[in-house]
Amino acid sequence: MSLGTPQLRPGDLVELEVSGLAFGGRGIARLDDFVIFVAGAVPGDAVRARVTKYKRRYAEAKVEEILGPSPRRRPARCSSFGSCGGCVWQNLDYGAQLEYKAAQVRESLEHLGGLKDFTLAPIVGMAEPWHYRNRADFSVGHSPQGAVIGFRPAGRWDSVLPLSSCHLVHPEIEAVRATVESWLRESCLPGWDPRTHTGYVRHLLVRTAQLGKEVLVSLVTAPHPGGLAADPTPLPGASDLVARLRAAHPHLVGILHAVNRAPAELSFGLESTVLWGRPYLLEKVAGLTLKVSVDAFFQTNTLMAHVLYGLVAEAVERASPRAPVVWDLYSGVGSIALAVASRAQMVVAIEENPRAVADAREDARLNGVKNVFFLEGDVAKVLRELAAGRSSLPQQATCPNVIIVDPPRAGLGNKALARLAEIGAPSLVYVSCNPTTMAPNVAYLADLGYRLGHVTPVDMFPHTPHVEAVAVLELKPTAPSA
């Protein structure tokens, strides 16, 4: 321990001036140049905080008292704020949130990626940053009143925080939650105890589309004690639940019952029975109608999905305005591939999940899109086969002008990055949900000959630290040989 390091122990109270925000949303303070990450603080706060963890290079603390509030601090709308953990920036002015998210993208690229000479466009935020989530995955637990449907408290896996409202989800989602909770209590159906693996009802998944004009519900339970292990077990009182939901929620399009037989906490990818209606939503985005199955990935913020897809389509058009050949990697249900298809000669969409590929093909049929070619498989392996000429493509799609990549939060692996360089498309459009993994990916591509041109941050998740970004890279011309 250096001479300048304060002697701190968990449980100590310290007074701090909070100067910034760290990745993940905690405030940054310093005590004799020693960094302390402070949960519940915003920049400009003077706080009294209790140390929760001490390490050689930093400590963690939690606000006990606000001694002097920051001018950018705002009253939290939600009574569960601080306990739920779903929206850690609800107490920070929205304009400040946008500033810090844009700074997070820049700092990631500059400090983690060692990149410079790129243009950071202004971040695109929401005009009304509330009730934007089109999906909620609720846990079901116990209370003295009976089953309780809510979210896990921050840092807990074995309890459920009761809800009266959530200011991030669409209001219809909260209304469905309340209806199902009331029905469970009247039916005396117990919630689930993950510690003992006892109980019955485990999760409630509610999804909306078209800004609440369609609603899909899936109730996830353990197997019913009276059912056969090999059969989808019946839900007691299912007809009553269907009648209750249909009477209270006219925008409902489907009600499902899914069974989770495993100890793991899962609400998707399970065997399910349609109790009423259909097992999918019809979403409208970027001029498309998309079939979204109950388990399918789709952006949780429909309004900002319009923005995101528009930015990708504009980047494709700027990169190659004359009907380019586009490859879309990690294409999911094909929403980006279909959104850019009208501007392209041909789009090749590559996705590993067979369900997503099936939905994407159906979406292409629904929208009359005939110039998207779907390939199912691991992206790195498919790229290797394409680079080696071992995978068949339509002749006009073999040489992409633009490649779009929309990887998971972990980013692209080195094998996939190397395959991209082998293919050598003139332009890459990188859609990122995690700037800390995008930065090293872009740096790796820079070493392979690509130059980062401009980056546009997009706020898909207001009141959380998460930020998306659309980055455009161009292949640097090769110097002529002597």
Q: Let me know: does 101 contact 178? Beta carbons within 8 Å.
A: no
CA distance 205 to 138: 6
| DSSP character at residue 342 | G
Tokens read off for 155: 């840092």
Tokens read off for 94: 């929205």
Catalytic residue (choose from 84, 87, 166, 433): 433
Sign of CA dihedral 102, 107, 110, 113: negative
CA 250 to chain centre: 28
Name the CA radius of gyration of the chain, rounded.
25
| DSSP character at residue 460 | S
At residue 150, φ and ψ (nearest 5 deg) are -165, -150
CA dihedral of 376, 378, 384, 390, whole degrees rounded to 10: -30
Tokens read off for 90: 């609800």
Q: Let me know: does 65 contact 45? Beta carbons within 8 Å.
A: no
How deeply is 76 buried, as exposed, middle or buried, from its count of CB atoms within 10 A (0-12, 13-18, 19+)? Answer: middle
Q: Name residues whose C-beta falls within 8 Å of residue 167's C-beta, 6 or more positions apart in sequence.
A: 77, 78, 87, 90, 130, 131
For residue 25, the SS3 value is coil
Tokens read off for 91: 């107490």
Q: Name residues whose C-beta falls within 8 Å of residue 59's C-beta, 6 or more positions apart in sequence.
A: 8, 34, 35, 36, 37, 51, 53
Sign of CA dihedral 49, 54, 58, 60: negative
Whether 84 sits among the annotated catalytic residues: the reply is no
As annotated, the active-site residues are 433
